[in-house]
C-alpha cells in the first residue's frame, strides 16, 4: 500500500472516531413515580379551611369510684384500681374520665401515676423498673435463666444494677468473675458456692433462702482482690436469687467466663499453660456455657473441700457468705427489720442492706440517705413510694413483687404497704454502714420553737415524735384512715 493510501485510511479512521466520541450521549429518563392519590392530601387542607364537623368524644359513664376517690386530692389516699373494672383518673375535683385508648392493666397497678396525689409536683426521674419487663436470657437445655436491670432501662440507677437469676436443680452459673463487686440474696432454694482467691485459698459453702454472699471487686480493708473467680450451683430443689452490682452500667453480657477464656486462647498455648498434650483439649467448650446443667453436688460438702491444698482455707473473717436467714429480725410495731452491713459481714465493706417486712397499712418511715443511693427490690406484696426531689418536685410510684425501686441520694421517700398481705422489701446501699436520716426523729430532736416557726406543728405533735429511730410506722388497713394517733 502506498504512503498516500495509508494516509487516507488514517484520516478516515480519525474522522470516524471523532464522530463517535463527539456524539451526544442520551441518558434514559426515569419518570418520577407518583404516589397513589390516597396516601397524601393537598395544600387545600393547610390552615383555616372553614367550618369543621366536630367529632364525638365518647362519654364515659360506666365506672365506679373507689373509696377515697372523691376526697381532697392532697390527702393522697391510695386507690386500689385492681378491684374495679373501669378505673378513671379522678381525684376529688381534679382529673376527668379517660375514654381510651389505654392499657387497663397498667392503669390498675399504677394508680398513683394514673391518678396522682394532689401533692405530687413537677418532674422526677423514673424510680421504677419491673423485672417482668426485662429481657429473659435462657441458659442451656432448660437449666435456668436471668434478667437484669441497669441504666439501659432505669437511667437514674447509676450506682447499682440488679440481676434476677434462676438455676434449675443441679444447674451451674459457670465459673466466672466480674469487673464489679457482686452482692447476693437468695430468694428461694439452696446453692453451693465456691471460690479461690489470689493466695490460692479456697472457699466452699452451702447457702439457703435468705442467706447472702459477696464476691469483691475493689480492694477492701481485708483483701486486695479484684475479680474473685467463683461458681454457683443449685442444690436439689433449684434456686432463684438476686444479684446486686456496684455499677449502674453492669451487664451480664460483660462477665468473664471460664468457658470463653479457654475458647479464645490458641490450643497450643493452653496446652502449654496446663502442661498437657493438645489432644487432651479436644472436648473443651467452643462457646460459653453461662448457665448449664450439672452433675449433682455431693451431699457431703467436705468432699469438695480440698484438704490437701497447701494454701489452706479462706480465713473466717474474710468469708464470702453470711447466713442471714438465721439472724432473728428486730420486731417493732408494724413489722420487722434485719440489717446486714460490714459490722457483721466484713468482706462486703461497700454494701449494706436491710430486709424489711411491713404489715398491711404500715410504712417504712419517711427518710433519706446521706452517702448512698438506695436500690430496693420488692420481694412480696404491694407498695407505694413518694420521692421528693429538691426544690419542689415529687412523684408517687406503685410497686409490686418483682419490681426494682431506685432513689438517688439524698432524695427523701417512704415505703408504704398498700396491699392486703405482708410487704417484704430489700433495701441496698453502697455504704460501710446501714444508716438513714429519719424525718420524725429530726423533728423530735430539733428545738420545738424552730419546728413550730417552720412547719406550724403544735407542741403536742412535736413532743409525740420519737427521739430514737423507729424505722417502721404502724398504720391502718382502712385506706381512707386519717387519724393515726397512738397511745403514748
Distance CA 363, CA 354 (A): 14
Closest CA to 332 of 369, 354, 362: 362
C-alpha cell at 63: 365506672
145, 132 contact by CB (below 8 A): no
Helix (H, G, I), strand (E, B) or coil at 347: coil
Q: Radius of gyration (Cα) for the chain, nearest Å?
A: 33
Task: Write the DSSP symbol of residue 340.
Answer: E
Marked catalytic residue, from 427, 460, 468, 481: 427
DSSP 120-143: -BS-----EEEGGGSPPEE-STT-
Contact between 366 and 337 (Cβ < 8 Å) = no
> Number of C-alpha atoms within 13 angstroms, CB side, residue 79?
31
DSSP codes of every residue in 229-290? -EEEEEEEEEEEEEEEES-TT--GGG-EEHHHHHHTS-HHHHHHHHTS-GGGGTTS-SS--S
Cα dist from 14 to 3, 5, 6, 11, 391, whole Å: 17, 14, 12, 5, 88
Tell me whether residue 460 is one of the annotated catalytic residues.
no
190, β-bridge pairs: 208
464/450 Cα distance (integer angstroms): 16
- The set of catalytic residues is 427
Amino acid at each position: 500500500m502506498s504512503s498516500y493510501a495509508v494516509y487516507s485510511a488514517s484520516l478516515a479512521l480519525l474522522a470516524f472516531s471523532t464522530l463517535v466520541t463527539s456524539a451526544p450521549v442520551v441518558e434514559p429518563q426515569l419518570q418520577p413515580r407518583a404516589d397513589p392519590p390516597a396516601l397524601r392530601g393537598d395544600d387545600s387542607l393547610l390552615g383555616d379551611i372553614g367550618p369543621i364537623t366536630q367529632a364525638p368524644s365518647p362519654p364515659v359513664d360506666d365506672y365506679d369510684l373507689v373509696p377515697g376517690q372523691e376526697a381532697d386530692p392532697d390527702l393522697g389516699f391510695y386507690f386500689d384500681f385492681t378491684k374495679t373494672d373501669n378505673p378513671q383518673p379522678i381525684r376529688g375535683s381534679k382529673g376527668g374520665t379517660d375514654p381510651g385508648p389505654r392499657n387497663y392493666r397498667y392503669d390498675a397497678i399504677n394508680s398513683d401515676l394514673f391518678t396522682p396525689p394532689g401533692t405530687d409536683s413537677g418532674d422526677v426521674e423514673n424510680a421504677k423498673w419491673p423485672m417482668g419487663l426485662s429481657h429473659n436470657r435462657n441458659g442451656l437445655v432448660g437449666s435456668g435463666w436471668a434478667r437484669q436491670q441497669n441504666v439501659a432501662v432505669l437511667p437514674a440507677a447509676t450506682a447499682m444494677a440488679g440481676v434476677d437469676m434462676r438455676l434449675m436443680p443441679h444447674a451451674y452459673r459457670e465459673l466466672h468473675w466480674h469487673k464489679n463487686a457482686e452482692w447476693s440474696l437468695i430468694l428461694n432454694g439452696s446453692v453451693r458456692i465456691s471460690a479461690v482467691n489470689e493466695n490460692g485459698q479456697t472457699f466452699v459453702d452451702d447457702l439457703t433462702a435468705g442467706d447472702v454472699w459477696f464476691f469483691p471487686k475493689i480492694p477492701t480493708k481485708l483483701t486486695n482482690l479484684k475479680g474473685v473467680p467463683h461458681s454457683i450451683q443449685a442444690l436439689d430443689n433449684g434456686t432463684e436469687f438476686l444479684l446486686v452490682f456496684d455499677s449502674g452500667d453492669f451487664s451480664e453480657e460483660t462477665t468473664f467466663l471460664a468457658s470463653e477464656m479457654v475458647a479464645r486462647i490458641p490450643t497450643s498455648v493452653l496446652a502449654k499453660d496446663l502442661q498437657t498434650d493438645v489432644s487432651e483439649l479436644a472436648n473443651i467448650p467452643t462457646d460459653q456455657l453461662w448457665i448449664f446443667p450439672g452433675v449433682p453436688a455431693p451431699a457431703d460438702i467436705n468432699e469438695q473441700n480440698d484438704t490437701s491444698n497447701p494454701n489452706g482455707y479462706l480465713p473466717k473473717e474474710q468469708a464470702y457468705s453470711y447466713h442471714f436467714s438465721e439472724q432473728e429480725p428486730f420486731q417493732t410495731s408494724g413489722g420487722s427489720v434485719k440489717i446486714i452491713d460490714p459490722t457483721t459481714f466484713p468482706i462486703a465493706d461497700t454494701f449494706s442492706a436491710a430486709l424489711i417486712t411491713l404489715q398491711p397499712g404500715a410504712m417504712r418511715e419517711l427518710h433519706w440517705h446521706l452517702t448512698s443511693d438506695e436500690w430496693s427490690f420488692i420481694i412480696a406484696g404491694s407498695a407505694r413510694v413518694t420521692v421528693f426531689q429538691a426544690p419542689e418536685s415529687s412523684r408517687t410510684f406503685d410497686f409490686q413483687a418483682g419490681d426494682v425501686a431506685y432513689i438517688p441520694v439524698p432524695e427523701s421517700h417512704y415505703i408504704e404497704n398498700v396491699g392486703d398481705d405482708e410487704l417484704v422489701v430489700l433495701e441496698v446501699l453502697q455504704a460501710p454502714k446501714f444508716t438513714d436520716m429519719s424525718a420524725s426523729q429530726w423533728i423530735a430532736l430539733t428545738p420545738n420553737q424552730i419546728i413550730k416557726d417552720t412547719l406550724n406543728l403544735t407542741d403536742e405533735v412535736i413532743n409525740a415524735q420519737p427521739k430514737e429511730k423507729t424505722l417502721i410506722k404502724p398504720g391502718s388497713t382502712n385506706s381512707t384512715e386519717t387519724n393515726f394517733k397512738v397511745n403514748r
